[in-house]
Structure 1
Amino acid sequence: MPEYQATVTYDELIYEIGSYHYNWHPDIELLWLLTGEVEANVEGEVIPLAPNDLLLINPNCGHATFAKVANSVMLRIHIRPDALDINGLNHASGKFQLNTAAEHVNPLYEPIRSSLANLTYHDNQLSQTAAYFDLLNLLSKFYITDESYGTTLATPKHQKAISKLTEYLEQHFSEDISLSMLAKQVNYSSTYLSKLLKSQLGITYSEYVMRCRLQQAIRELTRSTDNISSIAYQVGFHDLKVFNQSFKKHFGMTPTAYRKQLTPSLVKSDNQFKQALSSNNEQLSEKIVKSHLQVENNNSPCRTCEFREYQQKYTSLMNDLQSVVKHN
Structure 2
Amino acid sequence: MSVILKETGAEEIALRKFDTGKMFGFQREKKMDFANYKMEWPREGLTVRCFAHDIMNYRYHWHPDEYELNILLHGSQEYCRGTQNVLLEEDDVLLTPPGVGHASFGQQANTTAIVLHFSAAAIRPFFKKSGVYHFPTCLSDEGTRTEERYRQIRFYASQIFTLMQQNSLYAQLAVRASLELLLVVLCTEFEPQRLNEMPEDERRRSTIRRLLTYVEEHYAEKLTLENLADFAQYNRTYVSTLFKQVVGVNFHEYLSRVRFQHALNDLALTKDGLTDIALRNGFADLKTFNARFRATLHRTPTEYRAQLSPDRVIRVGERKFLLSEDPILQAKLRAYLKVGC
> So what's the TM-score if we normalise by structure 1?
0.81
1:247 aligns with 2:293: yes
Among 13, 21, 27, the alignment partner of 2:51 is 13
**Within 5 A, what are the aligned runs for 1:227-266?**
227-266=273-312
The aligned residue for residue 98 of structure 1 is 138
User: C-alpha separation between the residues in 1 aligned to 2:127 and 2:85?
Assistant: 32
1:64 aligns with 2:103: yes
More strand per residue: 1 or 2? 2
Instruction: Give the C-alpha shift of residue 114 in structure 1.
Output: 1.1
Which residues in structure 2 correspond to 1:297-312 (within 5 Å)? 303=339
Q: CA deviation at 1:274?
A: 2.0
Partner of 1:107 in structure 2?
148
Q: Which residue number in structure 1 is paired with residue 183 of structure 2? A: 136
Partner of 2:12: none
Q: Secondary structure at the match of 2:337?
A: coil
Q: How far apart, CA to CA, are the structure 1 residues paired with 2:321 and 2:192? A: 39
- What are structure 1's unaligned runs of at least 5 residues? 295-302, 308-328
Query: How has the CA–CA distance of structure 1 residues 103 and 209 changed in structure 2, closer, same or farther, with 3 Å as cutoff?
Result: farther
Structure 2 counterpart of 1:165: 211
Gaps of 5+ in 2: 1-42
- Could you tell me which residue of structure 1 aligns to residue 23 of structure 2? none
CA contact (8 A) 2:79 2:102 kept: yes
User: How many Å apart are 1:103 and its aligned residue?
Assistant: 5.5
Please state how far the C-alpha of 1:130 moved relative to its aligned partner: 2.4
1:74 is aligned, of 101, 109, 113, to 113
Q: Contact 1:115–1:135 (CA<8 Å) still a contact in 2?
A: yes
Deviation of 1:121 after TM superposition, in Å, equals 1.0
Residue 194 of structure 1: aligned partner: 240
Bigger CA drift: 153-162 or 111-120? 153-162
Deviation at 1:271, TM superposition (A): 9.2
CA contact (8 A) 2:120 2:132 kept: no
RMSD: 2.4
Q: Which residue of 1 aligns with 2:327?
A: 283
Tell me, in whole angstroms, the C-alpha distance in 1 between the residues paired with 2:295 and 2:78.
16
CA contact (8 A) 1:44 1:249 kept: yes
Instruction: Give secondary structure in 2 for the equivalent of 1:159.
Output: helix
DSSP-derived class of the 1:141 partner: helix
Q: Measured at CA, do residues 7 and 167 of structure 1 come closer, stay the same or move farther in structure 2, by a change above 3 Å?
A: closer
**CA contact under 8 A between 2:275 and 2:286: conserved in structure 1?**
yes
One-letter amino acid of the structure 2 residue matched with residue 236 of structure 1: G
Task: State the Cα deviation string for residues 58-105 of structure 1 (Å, max 9, x = none).
Answer: 221111000000011111111222312323364627421200127615
What is the CA distance between 1:27 and its match in structure 2?
A: 1.6
Task: Report how far residue 129 of structure 1 moved.
Answer: 2.8
Match of 1:318 in 2: none
Report the 3-state secondary structure (helix = DSSP H, G, I; strand = E; otherwise coil) of the residue aligned with 2:191. Answer: strand
Structure 1 residues 135-144 or 62-71, which shifts more? 135-144
Q: 2: CA distance between counterparts of 1:61 and 1:174?
A: 22
Equivalent residue number for residue 121 of structure 1: 162
Q: In the aligned structure 2, how far is the partner of 1:30 from the partner of 1:102?
A: 18
Question: Whole-Å Cα distance in 2 between the matches of residues 278 and 34 of structure 1?
Answer: 14
